[in-house]
Amino acid sequence: MKIVLGSASTALGEKIAELTNLEKVTVAHKTFPDGESYIRLEGNVQNEHVVIVQTTSTAQDTRLIQLAFMADAAKRNGASKVTAVVPYLGYARQDKMFLQGEGISIETIARMLQAAGVDALLTVNIHAENALKKFPFPAKTLSAIPLLAEYFVQKGCKKAFALAPDKGAMYIAEQAQVVLGGEAGHLDKQRDRHTGQTTQTAEGLNVKGQTVIIFDDIISTGGTIVGAAKILREHGAERILAACVHPVLVGDAEKRILDAGVEEIVGTDSVPTHVSKVSLAPLIAKALKAQKSG
């Protein structure tokens, strides 16, 4: 097994290689004047199970194309198997046709990766596990929530209330609760599929005087966390913190969240930002070691 350091996740790939003792393959990449991507693997992958680490946040389209090109290059240069480790899997939220006329973006991505030579996929906290069924090859998701919760335990937040901003994320709050040892609950969120606008409500939420950590898979515009923080303040929460696996943080999301009274935002290096205080490397390394010995 060898590990290919995709340009979107070089630092994370390095850490995983260190924890697994896997040999690294670096990648030369450039962007042509017209915007097209070029990649070249700088190591021998003949007869190797190749693990490509490449997140697909931010410039999703470019990073997905680069991933496909790396898989193709690996196969053309003799790799026996290609596993794509994609910490943040872009387009996973479009896993069904919500409105007439739409497609299923994640299924298109899955087929594209298969055509490029990917044989297996490992991701982290995919938005909905349903999306994994769209892959024509083995696809698995890991959870970084225990690692995030452990970060807060180390910061003295044992027994904090774990809050999911919507019912769908309750499983996330429950995973955090196991580590934090406090209570857990969720808000309810409705989304207008045409405008994208959301409204949140709380029923029977008792967080008065508590330290509350809002756990979510993604923070994108920050609207969900800002709305949740408002409700928590109205319900008398003493301290509000926010954690997510994928800190996409579009535009001024971080400022809006902090302005809404959230003390700290904590994310992982699935999307490398200055709030990425928790590394996914140990989680991914453990999964790869199990694959290697399995």
Q: Residues in the site for ligand R5P, rule: CB under 6 A?
A: 127, 165-166, 169, 216-224
Nearer to ligand R5P, 119 or 217 (CB): 217
**E-strand spans in 33-183?**
37-41, 49-53, 81-86, 120-124, 139-142, 161-164
Is 5:25 a contact under the CB 8 Å cutoff? Answer: yes
Burial class, 208, CB count within 10 angstroms (exposed 0-12 / middle 13-18 / buried 19+): exposed
Smallest distance, ligand R5P to C-beta of residue 122, A: 20
Contact residues for 162 (Cβ-Cβ < 8 A; gap 6+) = 149, 173, 174, 176, 177, 180, 182, 183, 184, 185, 213, 215
Nearer to ligand R5P, 53 or 213 (CB): 213
Nearer to ligand R5P, 116 or 248 (CB): 248
Smallest distance, ligand R5P to C-beta of residue 1, A: 32
Smallest distance, ligand R5P to C-beta of residue 166, A: 6
Neighbouring CB atoms inside 10 A of 217's CB total: 23
CA angle 46, 52, 58 (to 5 degrees): 150
Nearer to ligand R5P, 9 or 224 (CB): 224
Residue position matching structure tokens 């996914």: 280
Smallest distance, ligand R5P to C-beta of residue 128, A: 9
The verdict on whether 189 is a catalytic residue reads: yes
Is 3:24 a contact under the CB 8 Å cutoff? Answer: yes
Nearer to ligand R5P, 260 or 280 (CB): 260
Is 18:9 a contact under the CB 8 Å cutoff? Answer: no
Q: How many residues does the chain have?
A: 294
Smallest distance, ligand R5P to C-beta of residue 109, A: 17
Of 24, 189, 277, 286, the active-site residue reads 189
Residues noted as catalytic: 189
